[in-house]
Amino acid sequence: METNNILIVEDDKEIREGVQIYLQSQGYKVFQAADGIEGLEIIDREDIHLAIVDIMMPRMDGIRMTMKLREKHDFPVIMLSAKSEEVDKITGLNIGADDYVTKPFTPMELMARVNSQLRRYRKFLEKLAPQENVHVIGGLEINEDAVEVTMDGKPVKLTPIEYKILLLLAKNPGRVFSSEEIYERVWQEKAINTDTIMVHVRNIREKIEIDPKNPKYLKVVWGVGYKIEKQP
């Protein structure tokens, strides 16, 4: 399992080191900084997954530091604030912090916030990551793993043959396939009578096109074959 790197930016050395002990006990790798300037320098050097940032610090406070790091980074930021810093705390959330903990705090409270923010961040990254077995063309989406097809988010019910034809074309948007090539790829045998391809294509159109007579996705290239049109 990948180790998460956490940055603590706090001018109080005792708080920094106390938080570090608890984070390391949970398996996190910890970096320390005494102010916002040091914190940004570490972020430039290291792959940070979450930052715990105090609001009130010398040289550069937590508000300005968070504003600067948000220009390049989207990892979670948890702000530390004293009760008297309510306005600064709200400002911090407005400029990009994800959560805050009020001093004095218990280690267990901070750990719970850290774990929660990292879970959210992992889910966010998973959504951004390209999925090799999901093919998206405009509003058409085909999930090979789940063997599911949706159009504008609504499920489309296809027969096994219809699904295989649509998948073949969708994996190669813009490429024209002849009826013979589609038949041989889908049925895994030499094409003898390809009339059935036209019937299947018509059925697929009825299920995925708003106007099957004026298709947006599944098009005929007369005299050549069929293709899935690339979408902007």
Burial group, residue 111, by CB count within 10 angstroms (0-12, 13-18, 19+):
middle
Average of per-residue pLDDT across 104-121: 90
Q: Using the 8-state DSSP alphabet, how is residue 97 labeled?
A: -
pLDDT of residue 128: 66
Give per-residue pLDDT as tens, 189-226. 888 888 899 999 999 999 999 999 999 999 999 989 99
**Helix 13-25 crosses helix 107-128 at what angle (to 10 degrees)?**
60
Say which residues have a Cβ less than 8 Å from residue 149's Cβ, sequence separation at least 6.
140, 141, 142, 143, 155, 156, 158, 163, 166, 208
Query: 0.85 exceeded by the pTM?
Result: no
pLDDT of residue 90: 77
pLDDT of residue 11: 94
**Helix 179-187 crosses helix 195-208 at what angle (to 10 degrees)?**
90
Give per-residue pLDDT as tens, 10-53. 999 999 999 999 999 989 999 999 999 999 999 999 999 999 99
